């Protein structure tokens, strides 16, 4: 499968690191199109998802959210695990 290109993203499932389940989570958050990710805070998205679903999700969901916001704002596709260390640093400070 070719690497996602910023110019070719038309639906949530076109985003890197996003499959059917994550696309469903994004829709729960009111994000129906990739452009809706621009300017979003991945940590707030995660907290909202946990609140809406009444359960704590795996912290790696934050990594995925970080990766797709980064992709939509910078046009650079990176694997979700590239953001794990950054997430851990931010969460340690909180």
- What value does the mean pLDDT take over residues 40-49? 98
Residue with tokens 């995660």: 46
The answer to whether the CB of 80 falls within 8 A of the CB of 60 is yes
Grade residue 93 by pLDDT with cuts at 50, 70 and 90.
confident
Tell me the pTM: 0.93
> What is the pLDDT at residue 3?
60
| DSSP letter string, the chain | -PPP-GGG--SGGGSTT--HHHHHHHHHTT--SGGGGTT--HHHHHHHHHHHHTSPPPTHHHHHHHHHHHHHHH-----GGGGHHHHHHHHHH-
Query: Domain limits of the chain?
Result: 12-93
Model confidence pLDDT, tens digit, residues 1-14: 456 676 778 999 99
Model confidence pLDDT, tens digit, residues 46-86: 999 999 999 999 999 999 999 999 999 998 899 999 999 99
């Amino acid at each position: 499968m070719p690497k996602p290109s910023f110019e070719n993203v038309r639906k949530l499932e076109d985003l890197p690191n996003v499959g059917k389940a994550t696309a469903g989570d994004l829709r729960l958050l009111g994000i129906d199109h990739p452009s809706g990710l621009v300017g979003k805070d991945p940590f707030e998205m995660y907290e909202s998802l946990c609140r809406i679903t009444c359960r704590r999700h795996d912290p790696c969901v934050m990594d995925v959210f970080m990766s797709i916001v980064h992709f939509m704002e910078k046009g650079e596709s990176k694997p979700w695990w590239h953001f794990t260390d950054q997430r851990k640093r931010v969460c340690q400070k909180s």
